[in-house]
Amino acid sequence: MSSAIEPSIKSRPVYGTLKPATAPAHLIIADADGGKAVLDLATAAPTSFLPNAEICYIPGKADHSVTLEALGAARFYTGPSIAAMLPRLKRTFERMHMGTQIYLAGSESLIGLAMKTAMEANIDFEAIQTEHRGSLARRVQCVHCKGITEGVTTQPVTCAHCGLLLLVRDHYSRRYAAFQGVNINAEDPSDIPPKEEVFT
Amino acid sequence: MATPARELPFRDETFRDDFTFKNSPQTVLRAPFPFDKDSYMYAVNMELHKDGRAGTAFEEPIDVDEHYVSEMRDRALVLDEDPLRCQSLPHMTLAGWDTLELLMSCKAASYPEWFSLERDGDRWHWINRPLGIDDTFTFGDETTLPYGPLEYITRQAQGDFCVLDERAGNLWMDAGIVTTQADWSLDFDIGMNFFEWHAPVPLAHERGVFTRALKYLLSVQQANPARRLNWTMTVNPRLDTSPENYHKWGPENTHITPENVADKLFLRIELQSFWRLPRSNALLFPIRCYFLSMRDLTTVPKWATRMHRVLKTLPPEIASYKGLDHYREIAIDYLAAFDDGQETTAGPFPD
């Protein structure tokens, strides 16, 4: 098993395994250990696949960029962070040809943010293939101040914007690419539960 | 004006701070009490929303009651604080005009002494006497209204309004105005499908409730609006129990005592209705909130008895999800004195 995501509520995203689609072009976006899913995808693909593929990769904590570049895709991009890649991704989605298959692999933040960017370019999220590998760290939107806290690994977590102690729910918004955080001790602010590392 | 304004019965009251909200005895009796038997479990309790019983909240398709003007004032306060409470994705503008037409024509037909709509082609003249509004605008032209069509008309209509787009065999929460909600966020849920926005509800998914409810809703036709009732409980008559402000109102959940439960704890009833819209084929989903204090309930012996039995037998997951844990026992103890142990009559209406 590459992903340790437990079955949960209906808004919590579920991910599959990347499979080469029959398509004129392929856009592959990955971070960190998502690179391994891209290697598996390339191994399973016919010879016509890589000459029609673009790979966008953010190494993060597990760098597979040398191996990925050596695959010889038509275009290969690597960048320092997901945030740095998003403007480029936005433009790529806007000019993408009809029928291009999109593949997302890696952390939930990478998958969520790339999907959000695609949806903003009017791409149907249900046509996108996804595979989760690596970190379960979450993007969490504080329902109170609306600020987003990145890389959340603890339950509860302190909102990086307003400082409220948040319960991280499994309720997930594709538009925000974020899980919902709700003040955990609103009824009694003096009750401060300990933080546990749960999203790793 | 052609129609002389009759003396308006609207109460001047608040749903925050000093909480001066109060029901008149007639308003208690016309409330849509949500329990048709002495216990509660999630169900697809849909029925047609037409030919409603006289003297009840079902009598007119869009109910207007004594709280109308004050509820609209509370909505304006919420929107001033947080404009994210009214949102519409770009493809939902036509459904907004559909909503405007439906609400204006229903209100003008049901309450001609308060509302009037005159149409001359696309030139529409709308009068809302209780709120002092007299506007002429071009139907379909947003620049002729002070707000988008959805926000314009729902600032003049009690209850929350969700506008659901139908695509790929599902319903998508793609527009709405939500200021009187039972702890859910439009801003977070906008764009979600029917199963996703209901995701946090316990037990009901496993029971197939949402699959059957969606099937029913997809079949709602223009001529046959549908409705169902839902409920929770709220401390103080606070319309805006939003998750956004939960850190502000949450402490009140611990303030119920045997001494104050009668007047401080409310049964919060949602009259949900479902309307197929003609141009957009969207589904309009109004969620109208009615409050009954525990003391209000005791004025109808059948309702106090039934509320007592429902609370006593409520599955703990549902009680927790609805946030009742702090005061459920106190409410049961208070209502016990009004339960004579006799069998109750069938159906929700008072004897």
The tens digit of pLDDT for each residue in B115-125 reads 999 999 999 99
Distance from CA of B325 to the nearest CA of A (A): 12
Same domain, A110 and A190: no
Do the Cβ atoms of B191 and A175 come within 8 Å? Answer: yes
Which residues make Cβ contacts (< 8 Å) with residue B39, sequence separation at least 6? Answer: B309, B310, B313
Probe site for chain A from B167, B195, B196 (most A CB atoms < 10 A): B196
Same domain, A114 and A187: no
* Structural domain contains residue A15: no
Tell me the ipTM for this assembly: 0.90
Chain B residue with minimal CA distance to A166? B247
Distance from CA of B245 to the nearest CA of A (A): 6
- Which residues on chain B are in Cβ contact (under 8 Å) with A176? 188
* Structural domain contains residue B260: yes
Which residue has tokens 């003249």? B125
Same domain, A128 and A30: yes
Return d(Cα A63, Cα A168) in angstroms, integer: 29
* Structural domain contains residue B52: yes
* Structural domain contains residue B18: no
User: What distance lies between CA B48 and its chain's CA centroid?
Assistant: 17
* Structural domain contains residue B120: no
**A3 falls in which pLDDT band (50, 70, 90)?**
low
Same domain, A38 and A80: yes
* Structural domain contains residue B140: no
* Structural domain contains residue B350: no
* Structural domain contains residue A189: yes
Q: Which domain holds residue A175?
A: 138-197
Boundary of a domain, candidates A132, A153, A169: A132
Domain count, chain B: 1
* Structural domain contains residue B121: no
User: CATH number for the domain including A118?
Assistant: 3.40.50.80
* Structural domain contains residue A14: no
Chain A residue with minimal CA distance to B174? A175
Boundary of a domain, candidates A132, A156, A180: A132
Same domain, A72 and A97: yes
**Burial label, A182 (beta-carbon count in 10 A; 0-12, 13-18, 19+):** buried
Q: pLDDT, tens digit, for every residue of A14-54? A: 999 999 999 999 999 999 999 999 999 999 999 999 999 99
Domain count, chain A: 2
Same domain, A190 and A105: no
Boundary of a domain, candidates A116, A132, A148: A132
Q: Which helix (H) or strand (E) holds B78?
A: helix B68-81
Q: Which domain holds residue B77?
A: 25-91+150-336
Q: pLDDT, tens digit, for every residue of B50-102? A: 988 999 999 999 999 999 999 999 999 999 999 999 999 999 999 999 999 99
Res A4: pLDDT: 65
Q: Order across the sheet with B115-120: list the strands.
A: B115-120, B123-128, B133-138
* Structural domain contains residue B142: no
**Rounded mean pLDDT, A80-105:** 96
